[in-house]
C-alpha cells in the first residue's frame, strides 16, 4: 500500500479528471474524494479525505482499514454506497477519531466516469457543524414542545433526558438534584436506550448519593461548570467506574442546569449527565447544546414560577400574605361541609382593628400598611396551620380555628390576639398603637354555613365595639334591630373621626372663652377655654359629641396640642391690656395626661409664647385620675414643678377619696353642675356643695361652681362660701375679642380688674353697666358689670 504523501489525487495511473482538482482547492471547498476499485477492493483517498477519515495512509485494500474510525452502526450502509450496491444518493456517517472526536461526514457518490467505468468515485464533506446546528434546532424544537406542556419541572426533565439521548446519540442519561432536606444529591430521573443493557448502571446510580463536591456529579453541582469524562472505567472522579465498565459505558458529559430568574437570582436546580459506550472525545458543540437546554429549562422554570405567582395571587392577600377574602370564604365553606360530615366543631374568630383609620389618616397609608402587615405576622404566629388566617379586607381579619372544643384554649387565643394587637408597632421611629375587637362564632351552634358563621361572629364583634372596643365576645343571639342601630352608631362615629381629622387640618376648630368670676367681688377671675367645631356646612358639633370620639383615637393628642397652643396664643395677645394677668383654664383629655411628653411640650409652648405657666390651669376630671392614677400623678407633679396649675373638673361625680385629694398637687376643684342645678330647692345638693366648699377650704383649694344659671343658685353658693362661679348667668362662652369687648367696654385704665355683679353687691361703689353678653342661643339673663377702680 503506498505511503501517504502530499501529492494530490489518486495515483498517476488514474485518469486525468480527478487529478485536475488541486489539493488547496479541495480544502478550500471543504471536501475530499475517494475512489474504489471493486475488482481489487483497493480504496484511494485524496489527502483531505484521508484527514476526514483519520487515515494515516491514502490507499488501502480492504474497506475495514480505511473506514476503521466510522461508527459501527453507520458502516453497513456506507459500504453499500461505497461499493455501488445501493442507490446513489448522499449518506451522512459518523466518525470517531482520537484527534477530533465525533464528527459527521457526508458521503456523496459521483456519477461513474465513462472512461473508467469500473471505479466508484465520490466526495466526502465534513458536515459536523451543519449537523450540530440541525440537531440543536430539532432538539430545541422538541424540548420547547415538551416544556410548554409540562406542569412541573421534574416531569419536563425526564422527557428532556430522553430527547437529548435520542438526538445526540447518548445511551444513558440522568438528572440529579438535592434530596429534600438531605443536603445530598440523588439521581432523580434516568433513562437509557431501550436496546442498551444498562439496567445495572441505572440501579447503581439510583442508590448512590453524593454530597456537593463529591464525585463528578457533586463536583459539577459545586462548581457550576460542565465536565467531560473520557474513560469512565479509569477516571478517579467517576464513582461508578466498576458498573460503567461492566455495562460497557465509556465516555460522557456532565453539566449543570442553571438559570437566572427575573429577580436576578441564580438557580441551579440540578445536574444532567449523559454517557455513551463509544469513546467520544470532548465535542465542541456540547457546551452550546447544554446552554440551549439550560435556557429552555430556565424559560420553563420562569413560566412555572409565574403560574405559581398567579395561582398564589388568586388566593393570597398581597399585602399581608394571608388568605384573601375569596379564598378564606372558600376554605370556610369547605370546612363547614367537612365538619358537617365528620361531626366536628370549629370556631370562627372575626377581628377588627380599633383606631386603624385614624392611623391611616394621620400617618398615611404606608403607616397603615405597616400596621396591617405587623398584625398579620403576629396572627400567623399565634394561629399556625391547621388554623387558617385570612384578611377579609381593610382592617378586618378572620381566623378559622379547627377542632375548637377546648373553651379555655379558644379564650387564651382570643386574649393572645388582643395582646398582639395592642403591642406597639414601630413605623419610622413612631410607635403606632391599635387594639382589636374580636367576635367569635361556633360551628354548628351559631351557623351551619360560612356566611351564617361570619354574620354571627361579625355581630359578636360589633358588640365589643359598642362596649368600648379592645375585647372579645362569643356570639349570642341578638336582635337584628339592635345590631342595625349599633352599626349605624359606629358608622356615624367613624365618619366623625374622619371629618374631625380634616377639621383640625383646615381650621374648622375654634376656641370660645367662658368667664370664671369671683362671687364675692364680681371680678373676672379667669376664663375657661372651650372648643367649638364649626363645620363648613354651617352646623356646629358640640364637644360632648366629638371629644369622646377623639379620645378613642390619637386625634385627641393633636386636638389637645392645638387647644393649648391657641389658648396660650390668645393669652399672649392680651399682653399690655387690662386682662394680661388673666388665667385660662384648659380642659385636658385622659390620654393627654398620661403622656410623659406633656410637661415638656407645654413648657415649650409657654416659654415660646412668653406666657407664664402660672396663668394656665389644666382641668382634668376625677375619672381620668382613677384610670391610671400613678402615671397621671407623676405628670401632674411635673406640671406643677414647671408652674402650671391643675383643677379637678366635674368634682363630685367621681370617686376620689379624701386621702387621694390630699396627695394630689391640685390648686382648685370645680363643683359639677349637676349639684348646682337643684341647689336652690334641694337640701341634699346644698349640703354637698357646702361639703365641697369646706373640703376646699381645709385643703387650701379654690372652689369653682359650674353651671350657675340663676340668681338663686348664685346666692346659695355665696352663702356656702363658694369663692368662684361659672355659668350662663355670669357669662356664656364667647370668642375672646367679644369677651374682652364685653369686659373692657368703656374702660380706660389698663390694670383695672374686670368684674361681674356679685350676688350681693360687695360694696356700694357705683357699677358701670356693660352690655349683656349676647349669644345666638339665649341672651344672658344678667348683664356683666365692670366695677370702677
Q: Which residues bind ligand C2E (CB under 6 A)?
A: 514, 530-531, 542-544, 547, 563, 587-589, 619, 649-650, 673, 706-709, 726-728, 733
CB of 699 to ligand C2E, least distance (A): 21
- Helical H segments across 449-577, by residue range: 450-466, 480-505, 543-551, 555-572
Q: Which of ligand C2E, Mg ion, none is residue 196 near (CB under 5 to 8 Å by kind)?
A: none
Of 529 and 582, nearer to ligand C2E (C-beta) is: 529
Q: Which is nearer to ligand C2E, 400 or 620 (CB)?
A: 620
Q: Which of 554, 619, 622, 645 binds Mg ion (CB under 5 A)?
A: 619
Q: Which is nearer to ligand C2E, 471 or 757 (CB)?
A: 757
DSSP structure string for 193-234: -TTS--HHHHHHHHH-EE-TTSHHHHHHHHH---EEES-TTT
By DSSP bridging, strand 31-37 and strand 42-45 are antiparallel
Phi, psi of 603 (to 5 degrees): -60, -45
Applying CB under 5 A, the site for Mg ion has a residue count of: 5
The H or E element containing residue 44 is: strand 42-45
Is 173 or 560 the residue whose CB approaches Mg ion more closely?
560
Q: Are 731 and 779 in contact (CB under 8 A)?
A: no
The entry of ligand C2E, Mg ion, none near residue 390 (CB within 5 to 8 angstroms by kind) is none
Phi, psi of 54 (to 5 degrees): 55, 45
Pick one of ligand C2E, Mg ion, none as the site partner of residue 543 (Cβ within 5 to 8 A by kind).
ligand C2E
C-alpha dist (Å) from residue 339 to 287, 332, 413, 435, 452? 57, 10, 21, 32, 15
Sequence-ordered alpha helix ranges (H) in 646-731: 658-663, 673-677, 683-698, 711-720
CA distances from 329 to 32, 152, 443, 601 (A): 76, 28, 15, 49
Closest CA to 517 of 198, 782, 270: 782
The partner in contact with residue 544, picked from ligand C2E, Mg ion, none with C-beta cut-offs of 5 to 8 angstroms by kind, is ligand C2E
> Which residues neighbour 631 within 8 Å (Cβ) at sequence distance 6 or greater?
594, 596
Query: Measured from the CB atom, is 251 or 647 closer to ligand C2E?
Result: 647
Q: Which is nearer to ligand C2E, 498 or 674 (CB)?
A: 674
Residue 728 binding target from Mg ion, ligand C2E, none, CB below 5 to 8 Å by type: ligand C2E
Which triple of cell numbers denotes residue 412? 387564651
Say which residue the cell 363643683 belongs to.
671
Distance in Å, CB of 517 to ligand C2E, minimum: 12
Q: Residue from 273, 317, 650, 702 that binds Mg ion (CB under 5 A)? A: 650
Cell digits of residue 607: 416659654
Residue 570 touches which member of Mg ion, ligand C2E, none, C-beta under 5-8 Å by kind: none
Considering CB distances under 5 to 8 angstroms, the limit depending on partner class, which of ligand C2E, Mg ion, none binds residue 685?
none
Residues 452 and 458: their CA atoms lie apart, in Å, by 10
**In the bound complex, what is the minimum distance in angstroms from residue 345's beta carbon to ligand C2E?**
47
User: From the CB of 551, what's the least distance to ligand C2E, in Å?
Assistant: 8
Q: Which is nearer to Mg ion, 32 or 526 (CB)?
A: 526
- Spatial distance between the Cα atoms of 7 and 2, rounded to a whole number of angstroms: 11
Which of 649, 696, 717, 724 forms a contact with Mg ion (CB under 5 A)? 649
Query: Rounded to the nearest whole angstrom, what is the least distance from the CB of residue 674 to Mg ion in the complex?
Result: 10
CB 188 within 8 A of CB 152: no
> Nine-digit cell at 435?
387594639
Nearer Cβ to ligand C2E, position 70 or 555? 555
Residue 707: CB minimum distance to Mg ion, A: 8
**CA–CA separation, 47 and 115 (whole Å):** 23
Q: Is 352 or 592 the residue whose CB approaches ligand C2E more closely?
A: 592
Longest CA span, the chain: 162
Is position 587 an interface residue for Mg ion (rule: CB under 5 A)? yes
Residue 52: name the closest of 110, 131, 123 by CA: 123
- Selection from ligand C2E, Mg ion, none that 733 binds (CB < 5 to 8 A by kind) is ligand C2E
368 binds, among Mg ion, ligand C2E, none (CB under 5 to 8 A by kind): none
- Could you give the CA distance from residue 366 to residue 372 in angstroms, rounded to a whole number? 10
Residues in the chain: 789
What does 709 interact with, of Mg ion, ligand C2E, none (CB < 5 to 8 A by kind)? ligand C2E
Q: Site residues for Mg ion, window 685-744 (CB under 5 A)?
A: 706
Distance of closest approach, residue 547 Cβ to ligand C2E, in angstroms? 5
* CB nearer ligand C2E, residue 11 or residue 654: 654
Strand ranges of the sheet holding 266-276, from the earlier edge strand across to the other edge: 209-210, 185-192, 172-178, 266-276, 251-260, 227-229
Residue 530 interface partner, choices Mg ion, ligand C2E, none, CB cut-off 5-8 Å depending on type: ligand C2E
361 binds Mg ion (CB under 5 A): no
The least CB distance from residue 607 to ligand C2E, in Å, is: 21
C-alpha cell at 97: 477519531
Measured from the CB atom, the residue of 104 and 651 that comes closer to Mg ion is 651
Measured from the CB atom, is 312 or 627 closer to ligand C2E? 627
Nearest-angstrom CA–CA distance, 745 and 758: 19
Least distance CB 773 / ligand C2E (angstroms) = 12
Residue 458, interface with Mg ion (CB under 5 A)? no
Q: Which does 192 bind (CB under 5 to 8 A by kind): Mg ion, ligand C2E, none?
A: none
Q: Minimum Å distance from CB 592 to ligand C2E?
A: 7
Residues that bind Mg ion (CB under 5 A): 587, 619, 649-650, 706
Amino acid at each position: 500500500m503506498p505511503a501517504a504523501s502530499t501529492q494530490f489525487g489518486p495515483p498517476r495511473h488514474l485518469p486525468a479528471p480527478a487529478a485536475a482538482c488541486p489539493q488547496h482547492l479541495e480544502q478550500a471547498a471543504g471536501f475530499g474524494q475517494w475512489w474504489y476499485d471493486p475488482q481489487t477492493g483497493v480504496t484511494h483517498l485524496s489527502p483531505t479525505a484521508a484527514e476526514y477519515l483519520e487515515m494515516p495512509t491514502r490507499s488501502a485494500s480492504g474497506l475495514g482499514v480505511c473506514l476503521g474510525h466510522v461508527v459501527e452502526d453507520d458502516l453497513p450502509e456506507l459500504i453499500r454506497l461505497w461499493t455501488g450496491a445501493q442507490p446513489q444518493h448522499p449518506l451522512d456517517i459518523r466518525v470517531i477519531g482520537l484527534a477530533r472526536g465525533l464528527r459527521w461526514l457526508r458521503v456523496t457518490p459521483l456519477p461513474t466516469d465513462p472512461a473508467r467505468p469500473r471505479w466508484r468515485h465520490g466526495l466526502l464533506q465534513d458536515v459536523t457543524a451543519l449537523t450540530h446546528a440541525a440537531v440543536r434546532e430539532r432538539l430545541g424544537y422538541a424540548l420547547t414542545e415538551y416544556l410548554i406542556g409540562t406542569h412541573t419541572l421534574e416531569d419536563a426533565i425526564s422527557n428532556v433526558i430522553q430527547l437529548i439521548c435520542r438526538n445526540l446519540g447518548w445511551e444513558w442519561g440522568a438528572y440529579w438534584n438535592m434530596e429534600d432536606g438531605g443536603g445530598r444529591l440523588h439521581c432523580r430521573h434516568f433513562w437509557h436506550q431501550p436496546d442498551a443493557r444498562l439496567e445495572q448502571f441505572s440501579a447503581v446510580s439510583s442508590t448512590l448519593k453524593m454530597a456537593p463536591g463529591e464525585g463528578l456529579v457533586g463536583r459539577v453541582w459545586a462548581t457550576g461548570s460542565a465536565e467531560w469524562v473520557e474513560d469512565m472505567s479509569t477516571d478517579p472522579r467517576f464513582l461508578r467506574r466498576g458498573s460503567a465498565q461492566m455495562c460497557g459505558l465509556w465516555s460522557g458529559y456532565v453539566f449543570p442546569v442553571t438559570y437566572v430568574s427575573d429577580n436576578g437570582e441564580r438557580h441551579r436546580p440540578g445536574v444532567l449527565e449523559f454517557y455513551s459506550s463509544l469513546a467520544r472525545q470532548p465535542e465542541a458543540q456540547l457546551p452550546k447544546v447544554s446552554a440551549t437546554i439550560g435556557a429552555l429549562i430556565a424559560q420553563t422554570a420562569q413560566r412555572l414560577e409565574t403560574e405559581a405567582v398567579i395561582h398564589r395571587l388568586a388566593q393570597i392577600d398581597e399585602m399581608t400574605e394571608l388568605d384573601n377574602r375569596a379564598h378564606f370564604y372558600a376554605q370556610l365553606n369547605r370546612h363547614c361541609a367537612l365538619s358537617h360530615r365528620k361531626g366536628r366543631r370549629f370556631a370562627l374568630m372575626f377581628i377588627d382593628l380599633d383606631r386603624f383609620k385614624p392611623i391611616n389618616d394621620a400617618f398615611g397609608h404606608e403607616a397603615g400598611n405597616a400596621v396591617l402587615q405587623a398584625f398579620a405576622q403576629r396572627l400567623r404566629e399565634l394561629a399556625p396551620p391547621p388554623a387558617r388566617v385570612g384578611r377579609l379586607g381593610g382592617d378586618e381579619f378572620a381566623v378559622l380555628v379547627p377542632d375548637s372544643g377546648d373553651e379555655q384554649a379558644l379564650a387564651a387565643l382570643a386574649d393572645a390576639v388582643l395582646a398582639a394587637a395592642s403591642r406597639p408597632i414601630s413605623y419610622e421611629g413612631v410607635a403606632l398603637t391599635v387594639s382589636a375587637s374580636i367576635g367569635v362564632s361556633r360551628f354548628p351552634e351559631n351557623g351551619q354555613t360560612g356566611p351564617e358563621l361570619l354574620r354571627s361572629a361579625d355581630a359578636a364583634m360589633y358588640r365589643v365595639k359598642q362596649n368600648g372596643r379592645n375585647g372579645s365576645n362569643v356570639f349570642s343571639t341578638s336582635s337584628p334591630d339592635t345590631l342595625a342601630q349599633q352599626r349605624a352608631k359606629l358608622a356615624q362615629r367613624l365618619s366623625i373621626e374622619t371629618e374631625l381629622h380634616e377639621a383640625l387640618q383646615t381650621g374648622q376648630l375654634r376656641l370660645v372663652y367662658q368667664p370664671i368670676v369671683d362671687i364675692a367681688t364680681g371680678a373676672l377671675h379667669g376664663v375657661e377655654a372651650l372648643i367649638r367645631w364649626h363645620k363648613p356646612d354651617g352646623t356646629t358639633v358640640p364637644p360632648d359629641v366629638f371629644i369622646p370620639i377623639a379620645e378613642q383615637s390619637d386625634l385627641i393628642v393633636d386636638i389637645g396640642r392645638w387647644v393649648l397652643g391657641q389658648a396660650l396664643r390668645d393669652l399672649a395677645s392680651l399682653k399690655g391690656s387690662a386682662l394680661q394677668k388673666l388665667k385660662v383654664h384648659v380642659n385636658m383629655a385622659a390620654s393627654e395626661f398620661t403622656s410623659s411628653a406633656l410637661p415638656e411640650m407645654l413648657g415649650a409652648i409657654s416659654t415660646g409664647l412668653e406666657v407664664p405657666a402660672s396663668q394656665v390651669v389644666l382641668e382634668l376630671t376625677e375619672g381620668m385620675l382613677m384610670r391610671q392614677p400613678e402615671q397621671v400623678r407623676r405628670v401632674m407633679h411635673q406640671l406643677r414643678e414647671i408652674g402650671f396649675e391643675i383643677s379637678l373638673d366635674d368634682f363630685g361625680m367621681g370617686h376620689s377619696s379624701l386621702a387621694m385629694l390630699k396627695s394630689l398637687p391640685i390648686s382648685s376643684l370645680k363643683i359639677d353642675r349637676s349639684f348646682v342645678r337643684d341647689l336652690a330647692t334641694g337640701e341634699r345638693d346644698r349640703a354637698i356643695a357646702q361639703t365641697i366648699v369646706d373640703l376646699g377650704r381645709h385643703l387650701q383649694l379654690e372652689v369653682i361652681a359650674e353651671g350657675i344659671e340663676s340668681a338663686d343658685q348664685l346666692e346659695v353658693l355665696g352663702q356656702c362660701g363658694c369663692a368662684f362661679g361659672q355659668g350662663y348667668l355670669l357669662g356664656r362662652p364667647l370668642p375672646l375679642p367679644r369677651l374682652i369687648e364685653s369686659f373692657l367696654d368703656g374702660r380706660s385704665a389698663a390694670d383695672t380688674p374686670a368684674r361681674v355683679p356679685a350676688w350681693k353687691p360687695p360694696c356700694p361703689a357705683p357699677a358701670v353697666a356693660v352690655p349683656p353678653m349676647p349669644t345666638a342661643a339665649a341672651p344672658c339673663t344678667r348683664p356683666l358689670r365692670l366695677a370702677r377702680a
